[in-house]
Amino acid sequence: MKIEIWSDIACPWCYIGKRRFEDALGTFAHKDDVDVQWRSFQLDPSLPDHFDGTETEYLSQMKGMPAAQVRQMFDHVTQQAAAVGLNYDFDSIVVANSFTAHRFLHFAKTHGLMSQAKEALLSGHFEKGRDIGDIDYLAEVGREIGLDSDEVRRVLATDEYSEEVRSDISEARSLGAGGVPFFVIDRKYGISGAQPADVFTQALETAWDEGQKLTVLAGPPQSTDKDKADELTEGAVCGPDGCH
């Protein structure tokens, strides 16, 4: 079973959704047969490389909300994050465009390390106040997960993997994803948002059960009426009772 997850490193609900999904996957009987693939998305592609202000100021300006209301929203999200073992610190967040970080994730993917890179960047952004737009920091993350830090710097100094990021974003839109996190199971089931773990559990079980069933799209009528034998000349089939 293949599960694709579109998310943005700068999305607080994406990290929470990641944890909730992982909690569900951890108890799934067929977890070893699940292929999880991370896909890129940007909530605000227009964000400059770095925003000169706090996360509160950024969201207040972007959404036109009073700062007090933004802080109240942060408090709620922080509580939800804590419930899944995450320690959010919105006061320390460095507001930066995530495009370069997404390119780094795609580079990590070529080495089979995208999942590790994703976890490190989300934690760095929301829990440690690290700058996801800084190439030196991304090279540091690369080194920590087993990549060559000099190679990370070389790649990110170019526009490599930009097309892969844009392709992910375009594909998300074609699938109808208006926001993230967005989970797609076998290109058949879609789950929008950081749903509770039990919702993911039910989705995994449903998708697995449905995936084991075979839908016959074409074939002759399953009839043993000898008078209709001449009609069954196309798509003939043989069974235990003979061919017809």
At residue 73, φ and ψ (nearest 5 deg) are -65, -40
Q: How many residues does the chain have?
A: 244
Residue 63's pLDDT is 85
- The candidate with the shortest Cα–Cα distance to 86, out of 127, 129, 128, is 127
Output the pLDDT for position 21: 98
pLDDT for 14 equals 98
| CA atoms within 13 Å, Cβ hemisphere of 162 | 7
Over the chain, what is the mean pLDDT? Answer: 91
Name the band, by pLDDT with cuts 50, 70 and 90, for residue 232.
very low
Range with the poorest average pLDDT among 66-80, 124-138, 208-222: 208-222
Q: What is the pTM of this model?
A: 0.88
Angle (CA) 173-51-98 rounded to 5° is 35
pLDDT value at position 29? 97
Put residue 189 in one of left, alpha, beta given phi > 0 → left and psi -120 to 50 → alpha. beta
pLDDT of residue 193: 96
Mean pLDDT of 144-152: 98
pLDDT band of residue 10 (cuts 50, 70, 90) is very high
